[in-house]
Amino acid sequence: MDTKVYWWLGHVIDLIHMPIVIVLVFWGAARFSGELYVSIVVVAVILQIGLLGCPFMALTGRLKRLHDPSYVNHWSFTVWFYRKYGPVAGIAVFLFFIGIGLALRAFFFS
């Protein structure tokens, strides 16, 4: 069985998932009320910090390993930052995303 389809699918997901996330953040800030939007962002960031990475990154790593079992998933900048600087980095990333969410909300609702 040719497993290159897994390798390419992993790359396609890598390429499209971040632009989709960015569009959803801007759309969410414009569409939802403040409390709902901030709650969604908080839950998403807590899940990423708790999982030490993005679930999509885990999926793409798994797909790429189906093609190449020796593939090492490098996760994300956030995980590298957390591992290098400890839990304070996780709190900083969390506060950064909350700040971005509140700034977008203020921009769209002012």
Q: What is the mean pLDDT of each run of 10 residues along the chain (110 residues)?
A: 87 84 77 76 73 75 90 71 78 79 76
Residues 44/88, Cβ–Cβ less than 8 Å = no
Give the per-residue pLDDT at 51. 66
Give the per-residue pLDDT at 8. 92
- pTM > 0.85: yes or no: no
Give the per-residue pLDDT at 5. 92
Give the per-residue pLDDT at 91. 79
